[in-house]
Amino acid sequence: SPDKTPKHFLDINELPLSELKRMLAASSAMKAKQKAHQPVRPLEGKTLAMIFERPSTRTRVSFDVAMRQLGGEPIMLTGAEMQLGRGETIADTARVLSRYVDAIMIRILNHDALLELAANATVPVINGLTRRSHPCQVMADLMTYEEHRGPIEGKTVAWTGDDNNVLASWAHAAERFKFQLNVATPPELAPKKAMRDFIKATGAPIMLGTDAEAAVRGADCVVTDTWVSMGDKEGEHRHNVLKPYQVNAQLMSLAKPDALFMHCLPAHRGEEVTDEVIDGPQSVVFDEAENRLHAQKGILAWCFDAVK
Ligand code: CP
Ligand code: NVA
């Protein structure tokens, strides 16, 4: 019925594990079909508005292509070109767009603005990255891990770097999918109270620390990300305190011999990761990038109630 609450995709920890698994299964099925040149088109006649307040290569292109391959149509918008840039409220923008399109994907730093959009939209809203989280990325990463190594449940993932949006979504995933997450950050860039409260409230298997070697030792997967996220102030200081968290061959050698290396990209080679690691045999960074396309098909199909 038109009154039912839209199926938003805002954060991984807001959805039951069974639904997340359905999305991933749908993603894999659609990927296989696409590779076999038997594309499926469950979104025929549907339109997705994509709003970008920040730059993007992967998210923008993969959502655009995903909509086209599924038979739907994307509309690319940037905040600055909309009345949003001149002060129209997020809530009114949500109400208006809901009259035209069937779903909205947004990349906006302010997480509360995402929530306000979702609260006022009558169509599904998808989080395409905020300051707080990046759930689409981690769905692609889970898919990638499981393609290479089977179920992630019970495995150990190590994060080394600063506390950021991608880490938050990994933490949400650790709680849902029940894998160990070892986090190493410089003390001053450690996860904030919200993450500590989340761990306490849920009992998620997450260990917060400051020692990169301790986090990586024996891990099945090593993950890092840029030292300067969108919205962070650049600065020598960040680089100095993050230097010991670089994923290089020496750090990687402490993980399991068959450990995977993951990075959401874009990478800053020579900073958070060396060429040797990101171009090495354990790296699956371009599989992750490809899987943004496939994982998002599962997310889109789920939002549109088109997952079989
Ligand atoms: N990983 C990711 O979200 O990349 P973009 O910023 O290019 O979308
Ligand atoms: N943490 C990074 C991810 C980019 C995809 C950022 O927010 O800039």
Q: State pLDDT tens for residues 80-138.
A: 899 998 999 999 999 999 999 999 999 999 999 999 999 999 999 999 999 999 999 99
| Domain edges within the chain | 12-133+291-303, 137-288
Nearest-CA residue for ligand 1 atom 6 is 56
- Ligand 1: atom nearest CA of 265 is 1
Ligand 1 pocket at CB < 6 A: 56-59, 129, 137, 264-265
Question: What SS3 class is residue 284?
Answer: coil
Q: How far away, in angstroms, is 148 Cα from ligand 1 center?
A: 22
Q: Report the distance separating Cα 296 and Cα 142, nearest Å.
A: 12
Q: Domain 12-133+291-303: give its CATH architecture.
A: 3-Layer(aba) Sandwich (3.40)
Active site residue 99: no
Active site residue 68: no
pTM: 0.98
| 137-288 matches 12-133+291-303 in CATH topology | yes
Q: Are 26 and 297 spatial neighbours (Cβ–Cβ below 8 Å)?
A: yes
Q: Report the distance separating Cα 115 and Cα 267, nearest Å.
A: 29
Q: Report the distance separating Cα 119 and Cα 140, nearest Å.
A: 26
Q: Which of 24-28, 31-35, 234-238, 293-297 has the lowest mean pLDDT?
A: 234-238
Q: State pLDDT tens for residues 32-47.
A: 999 999 999 999 999 9
- ipTM of predicted assembly, 2 dp: 0.99
Cis check: omega of the bond before 42, within 30 degrees of 0: no
**What 8-state DSSP symbol labels residue 283?**
B
Which of 8, 58, 131, 134 is catalytic? The answer is 134
CA 215-217-221 angle, 5° bins: 80
* Domain 137-288, CATH homologous superfamily name and number: Aspartate/ornithine carbamoyltransferase (3.40.50.1370)
How many CA atoms lie less than 13 Å away from 86 in the CB half-sphere?
A: 3
Active site residue 221: no
Active site residue 58: no
Q: How far away, in angstroms, is 257 Cα from ligand 1 center?
A: 28
Q: Report the distance separating Cα 39 and Cα 41, nearest Å.
A: 7
Ligand 2 pocket at CB < 6 A: 164-166, 225-226, 229-230, 264
